[in-house]
Chains A and B, each alone.
Chain A
């Protein structure tokens, strides 16, 4: 038995159109999406919730202790939060763009892979910039900081401090990759698998 032998049988078996009411069609189409892009958006939204929370903490701290406002580390944390907010905004826009299925299958697969790779690049860059800025601020502005906590850090031998910065950089490089793969890796792998099957 070959596929061609079954062609007529297939067509005859499915020749009649069904009759779901127009109201039901509209009701179904207004439901929430459960596709992978919607799932990725949920992951991102959960992480984004942290941003307003951190902004509120920073504002409270700045109001309670006005001298903090001129502290370079306060500026660093504010900058990091803004950087994270920028990353989340870009990522959300990328996912929203991906959430349209009207394109030839191979084109959509390629576009989605490109979008997720751009997101990964953006993710790593955000992490890298934040991690590089941290030791720069800590070392360059060490005489300007007002946080008592930092004094203990400067008492540590410079070689050990530099070693810690390098370890932090290496760890964060792998951590960012692991974190991205945990949240987005499976979908990216599925897309690549399907693309290799179609090409």
Chain B
């Protein structure tokens, strides 16, 4: 595959799965700026790892792995990562936020915000209706452990939403 073909394949795959990345950013980044920084970092990491994508799993499954790994690792920034000139090209995160009038979704986001990185990943995959088999591929944890963990996360969220 030539460099141009690689770039073409990469942008093609990302375009079709962009919403997935924004969902990860929405759950892991607290502010709009954090979310944009994380979006950029995921782009960087996805491109760097793209030669490792062999097509054995669905691209979305592979992209979840990269995005969640990047989000859990976090972004070490000393100053705003995205230069001012580049901010114009950044998609607006508000496009992906829940409508302000939807109190239930707002509550859900607030509650998820209080979970740790791994619990957030589990919640995201659950809300996305991913099968436990696919979760196992993404997280590298066996299905039965995931079911137990998911039950605990649900209980934790229930309490948090009630509060």
Contacts and interface: CB of A to CB of B under 8 A. Distances in A.
Interface of A: 1-3, 5-7, 9-11, 13-14, 16-22, 24-39, 99-108, 190, 193-194, 197-199
A198 B75 contact: no
Contact of B141 (A6, A21, A198): A198
Q: Is the interface of B mostly helix, strand, loop or mixed?
A: helix
B65 A103 contact: yes
Contacts of B129: 7, 11
B18 A33 contact: no
Interface string B1-35: 00000010011101111110011000000000000
Interface of B: 7, 10-12, 14-19, 22-23, 37, 39-41, 43-49, 52-53, 62, 65-66, 68-70, 72-77, 81, 86, 89-91, 95-96, 98-99, 102, 104-105, 107-108, 116-119, 121, 123, 126-129, 137-141, 145, 153-154, 157-158, 161
B96 to A, nearest CB: 7
A17 B91 CA distance: 12
A9 B104 contact: yes
A43 to B, nearest CB: 11
A93 to B, nearest CB: 16
A24 B89 contact: yes
Contacts of B157: 3
